[in-house]
A and B are shown apart, each in its own frame.
Chain A
């Protein structure tokens, strides 16, 4: 089912009625951000938006919301567009078991068609860059695959990192970047700066959606995103060498920017409207000097609207956050049935579990806070029984409403680590966390009156299938 490139994926969206082309002349601001915000406001089954007639450009195109709905997410996985979220979760997790899948290398990448060097580069002419939210510091690139290597072990393929980081475009060939210290690129930059070096990098813009999804997934430091993408797409991921830096980048990218983070330099970056629904504030962050750009003819600028959930960001980090948590918890606790950590990138998560004995569910909740992603997220963990679908919020709310006893079922853990972007953290980066145990008490914890639950009438499942057929 692998998509060759972004264009191939857009063609599939089109065939499935999940792509809208806007051909009337539009100014980027405020229309592109507003349209992407609007489609997210209206529905969780919305289309990708392609802008074909951009004020000030001859032939540029911009695409937003490519994976910004459950049908588009299902199509990314090569599934029927009506596949329920829970089924998408289990399919994603199942394919992860095939990791690693060795990559396929090729030399004739379509982005080798055109090259700009040094003073020839003007990113604003190459791509229709624009401001997304009202008080962003400027134009950003926020959906590119950023590739760096470990300066102490540059030949290690697994330690080469592919990640998504926000990038402020500060000049025609000058960028600001936010490499979070805890992320792999943060480790690479620290090592480069300890060595007194710059950090070479490639920024691949406009990709098929699987690598974008995996690049935003919390993998182990030496696990290759390309080898995981191969597992998820069910065939080897095709990559090519970036000509200047030698970074491995997606074969099908629209644009490949090469340059380096300047060691030892920090400069004001932001604010930027973030996935928390709040602006990030200004910080002094690293700077990138761009040296070369390679690109396809008439490259498509693929971009992502981000702001108060839900937006495309929330779809792209929904299952790629839930699945690693699920896999890590399942190693110690096979009773874990499913994990829904798709609220604000896992700041809130819901875990369904078959408790072994009284107190077990609370232990699972606390474990979620100590897996790698949990160190920066998992501020609120809700535990529900194995009979409750954690992706069905009506069922989760039912569990909380009837099973949670505030005197017994809240576990508050003081002053744990959290991502500094959480606006409630105080000081930034520190917060209490809470487990809400909404499972049915079991021995030795005997309390409440749960013995006479209303079960479904006989033949309900058969009727569900019959009604589904009638609705087709």
Chain B
């Protein structure tokens, strides 16, 4: 079977570090992709709302610049002496 075409752009953060996460156990049914920046993942057979960068809603888009500013839960404690 042919190698799946990996999408160029993450639907959620619009960066281009997309990799192949896995392919279907039954060959050729679907592929899943993973964004290496925001860790969004999606399946090739999902409806457009989950896969299309152009129509992914603004309220759920993630700007990579904001990721380091996100709350840390739980916070990392100091090491014991």
Residues of A bordering B, CB below 8 Å: 27-30, 55-58, 60, 122, 124-125, 130-131, 134-135, 137-139, 168-172, 176, 178-181, 186, 189-190, 193-196, 264, 266-269, 271, 279, 282-286
Contact = CB atoms under 8 A, between A and B. Distances in A.
A137 B77 contact: no
Given A29-B47, A267-B39, A283 B73 contact: yes
Nearest to A122: B22
Interface string B44-81: 01110110000001001010000100111111111110
B78 A58 contact: no
A290 to B, nearest CB: 14
Contacts, number: 113
Contacts of B49: 134
- Taking each of B21, B47, B67, which has the highest tally of chain A beta carbons within 10 Å of its own beta carbon? B21
Interface of B: 12, 21-22, 24-26, 29-30, 32, 34, 38-43, 45-47, 49-50, 57, 60, 62, 67, 70-80
Chain A at the B interface: mostly helix, strand, loop or mixed?
loop
Contacts of B73: 178, 180-181, 266, 283-285
B25 A125 contact: yes
A284 B57 CA distance: 22
Which 4 A-B pairs give the minimum distances between C-beta atoms? A56-B24, A138-B41, A56-B29, A181-B74
Contact of B26 (A57, A193, A282): A57
Nearest to A285: B73
B76 A266 contact: yes
A26 to B, nearest CB: 11
A176 B76 contact: no
30 contacts: A27-B30, A29-B47, A30-B47, A55-B24, A55-B45, A56-B25, A56-B26, A57-B25, A122-B22, A125-B22, A130-B43, A131-B50, A137-B40, A138-B40, A138-B42, A170-B39, A172-B22, A181-B75, A194-B77, A194-B80, A196-B80, A268-B39, A268-B62, A279-B60, A282-B62, A282-B67, A282-B70, A283-B71, A283-B72, A284-B72
Contact of B24 (A57, A134, A135, A284): A57
A56 B40 CA distance: 21
A192 to B, nearest CB: 10
A60 B26 CA distance: 11
Contact of B46 (A131, A178, A283): A131
A124 B50 contact: no
A170 B74 contact: no
A311 to B, nearest CB: 20
A186 B74 contact: yes
B64 to A, nearest CB: 9
A125 B76 CA distance: 33
A193 B78 CA distance: 8
A372 B34 CA distance: 39
Contacts of B26: 56-58
B39 to A, nearest CB: 5
| Residue among B30, B39, B41, B76 with max Cβ neighbours from chain A (10 Å) | B39
A124 B32 CA distance: 9
A274 to B, nearest CB: 13
A55 B30 contact: yes
Contacts of B46: 29-30, 131
B23 to A, nearest CB: 9
A420 to B, nearest CB: 8
Given A57-B26, A196-B79, A170 B43 contact: no
Contacts of A29: 43, 45-47, 50
Nearest to B39: A170
Contacts of B76: 193, 264, 266
Contact of B60 (A58, A135, A179): A135
B41 A139 contact: yes
A195 to B, nearest CB: 6
Given A131-B43, A138-B39, 16 more contacts: A27-B45, A29-B43, A29-B47, A30-B46, A55-B24, A56-B26, A56-B29, A57-B25, A138-B34, A138-B40, A170-B41, A180-B73, A196-B80, A266-B72, A268-B39, A282-B67
A179 B74 contact: yes
Contacts of A28: 43
Contact of A124 (B22, B42, B79): B22
Nearest to B47: A30
A56 B30 contact: yes
Nearest to A190: B77
A125 B70 CA distance: 32
Contacts of B43: 28-29, 130-131
A139 B41 CA distance: 8
A422 B78 CA distance: 29
Nearest to A196: B79
B27 to A, nearest CB: 9
Contacts of B21: 124, 171-172
Contacts of A268: 38-39, 62, 67, 70
B21 to A, nearest CB: 7
